Every structure is written in structure tokens, then in C-alpha cells.
Amino acid sequence: MDAFRYFKEFKMDVLKEVGNIGAGNAATALSRLLDKPIDMDVPKVEILPFELVADIVGGAEQIVVAIFLRVEGEAPGNLFFILNPEAAKNLLRRLKGIDVGQNDSFNEMEISALSEIGNILAGSYLSSLADFTKLSMSPTVPSLAIDMAGAILSYGLLQYGEMGDDALLIDTKFLEGTQEIEGQFFLIPDPESFAKIFESLGVPLEND
């Protein structure tokens, strides 16, 4: 195996390990919140260009529920947790004390609950990455939007400034019995942050 391929595969192995730990922590946090056992499928982890993020969630015009926040600290960037509306409703139905409507709209209580869920899940992934890299990373207060994927990503650009060229996708399925809920985490480090993350993991970035 040539050096280029070796480092590329090693890099993805490291990212998959981060994704696995993050998903495990997120499943544990979700179990506590729902007060029932939640398992998780082994997440699909990949690096993709930022412009493909909307395609992954169904296209720029696909209506999605997105929780997004700014990552501050030694490796700043942006974090998005994106669900389709049906998955978001299914997640809410598992919460005690929430009367979930049957239509496609979300009331104030549902939005508040989704914000809290997104905050917990995003925090689980971010703390896993921070522990793994030994870098200081802290989330800002998350925002929630229900809109077309392209509009949400454009708003993120306006809100947080220039996005990095690449995104780390962690495609996760949470399982409760035979029911599954799929969501995508996108970590979009600022241009200089990917290098810091990989250097902290002992992976030379120039072998990308």
C-alpha cells in the first residue's frame, strides 16, 4: 500500500472512531432524556465538500429540521444536526409529556423540545471530539430552523461567515427496538481547523 493511500485510510479510521464514540455518547444521552434504552447503528463517517451537504439531506429544496451552532475554541467551526420532519416527529413522540401534532407543522413546545434534543446530541459529539483531540472546543447556544436545506446552509454562511471547504459527515441511526431515527451531523471546521484537528490526532493533513 502506498503512503498516500495508507494515510488516507488511517485518517478515515480515526474519524470513524471519533464518530463511533460520539454516537455512543449521543445514544446514552438520548436514552437518559427519553428514559428508555436507545441503541445506535455504526455511523457512516466521511469527509465531503461543503457544497454537497444539501444533496446528502435530499437536495437544496428539501424541507428539513436543523439545529446548528458555532464551535468556539482551538478548532472553530460550525456544527449542524439535520433531520427530516418525519424523523423529528418520530423522535418527539418518544418524549413523555409531549402531545405531538399529526400535521407537518411544529408548535412552540415541539420546537423547544427539538432544540433541547439537538443541544444534547450535538454536545455529545462535540465533547467526544474535544476529548479525542485534546483540543478546547465549546458550543454556542444552538439555533433551530425548519426550512429548505439550501436556505438553512445559506443562513449559516451569513450568520457565521465563510464556511470551510470540507465537512465531516456523521450519518447516524438511533434505534429503539425495531424503530429507527436517522439524522446527520455535519461538522464544518473553519479552513485552518481541519489541520489542527488532524495534527492533534497525529495524522499529517498534507497527505489528503
Q: What is the pLDDT of residue 136?
A: 92
Q: Which helix (H) or strand (E) holds 125?
A: helix 108-133
Whether the per-residue pLDDT at 132 is higher than 50: the answer is yes
Q: Identify the band that residue 157 occupies on the pLDDT scale cut at 50, 70 and 90.
A: low
Q: What is the pLDDT of residue 106?
A: 87
Domain at 3-207: CATH architecture: 3-Layer(aba) Sandwich (3.40)
Q: Report the first-to-last Cα separation within the chain, whole angstroms.
A: 15
pTM of the model: 0.83
Q: How far apart are CA 120 and CA 83, in angstroms?
A: 15
Q: How far apart are CA 58 and CA 16, in angstroms?
A: 23
Q: How far apart are CA 4 and CA 7, in angstroms?
A: 5
Q: How far apart are CA 178 and CA 7, in angstroms?
A: 38
Nearest to 56 by CA among 157, 150, 176, 192: 150
- Rounded average pLDDT over 59-80: 91
Q: What is the pLDDT of residue 206?
A: 56
Q: Which helix (H) or strand (E) holds 133?
A: helix 108-133
Highest mean pLDDT among 27-36, 51-60, 165-174: 51-60
Domain locations in the chain?
Answer: 3-207
Q: DSSP assignment, residue 163?
A: P
- Rounded average pLDDT over 5-12: 68
